[in-house]
Amino acid sequence: MTSPHARRPIVAANWKMNTGPDDGAELARSVAAQDLPFAQVDVVLCPPATGVAAVAAAVRSTPVAVGAQHVFWEASGAYTGEISVPMLAGLATYAIAGHSERRQLFGETDLDVQRKTLAILSGGLTPIVAVGESLDQRDAGETLGVLRSQVRRVFEALTPAETAACVIAYEPVWAIGTGRNATPEQAQEAIGWIRDIVAATHGQPAANQIRVQYGGSVSPENCEELLSREGIDGALVGGASLDAAKFAAIVRAAAP
Ligand code: PEP
């Protein structure tokens, strides 16, 4: 029986600072050529900024979508090195906001992530908002509190409808790029908390609608047990997404 809150899974590739236009386009073409359940799963590739146009051209006539890894909230102006949402028009339909590498290495705050999320939405793109606790926070039993404060702060300026249109990526910082994934139980519990927080702040319909992915060392080896769990609506994939066959295995595991 289909759940009354059936959500379409989404698997997104975060290529981080890897690939340029040519090898990025080649990787995108090989992802699009895989046998993937496009009718059931949204598939998104997030190349670095210099590869967005080439990747968008490479997947134009396929169901593969393109996302940006990072945007600034202003539309234009004297912001050297930054990329705005309007600059992605016709190229990308998603953008990540608040990846932990941006929070840790580049000092992004929850308020920055909120501004970016609003800008992404107002440009007609879908935000993928990353949240998650550090290892110290998990060990101190603070995971729920950290998620509550991140989700509240980022989404407090959004309406329930805007919130429902977003994707949240639950990415425990200790699991990103470490080869140490959260257990399916840990991922499911934290994602359940995130949905409860959204229900408390924006109402149950928004909580039922918003898609919440898991991210952190997802691989072909662990994707089945993670993505078969109720409530885990797909994955945000770093390292394994640089290999088309590995990424394809993860996309297939996300199909209901
Ligand atoms: C990520 O970059 O969001 C990520 C989850 O990376 P990895 O899969 O390499 O842990």
State pLDDT tens for residues 101-125.
Answer: 999 999 999 999 999 999 999 999 9
d(CA 213, CA 12): 9
Q: Is 176 in the pocket of ligand 1 (CB under 6 A)?
A: yes
- Kindly state the tokens that stand for 41: 């799963």
Lowest mean pLDDT among 2-16, 21-35, 53-67, 154-168: 2-16
| SS3 assignment, position 129 | strand
**∠95-41-204 over CA atoms, to 5°?**
75
Rounded distance from Cα 12 to ligand 1 centre (Å)? 10
- What letters, b where the CB count within 10 A reaches 16 and e where it falls short, cover 104-119? eeeebebebbbbbbbb
Which of 236, 243, 247, 251 has most ligand 1 atoms within 8 Å of its beta carbon, as the pocket-test mutant? Answer: 236
d(CA 143, CA 149): 10
Say what the pLDDT of residue 118 is. 98
Q: Is 13 in the pocket of ligand 1 (CB under 6 A)?
A: no
Query: Is the pLDDT reported for residue 2 higher than 50?
Result: no
pTM (2 d.p.): 0.97
Farthest CA pair distance, the chain: 54
- Kindly state the tokens that stand for 182: 């959260």
d(CA 236, CA 5): 21
**φ and ψ of 212, to 5 deg:** -125, 115
User: Which residue's alpha carbon is nearest to atom 5 within ligand 1?
Assistant: 216
Which of 10, 11, 14 has most ligand 1 atoms within 8 Å of its beta carbon, as the pocket-test mutant? Answer: 14
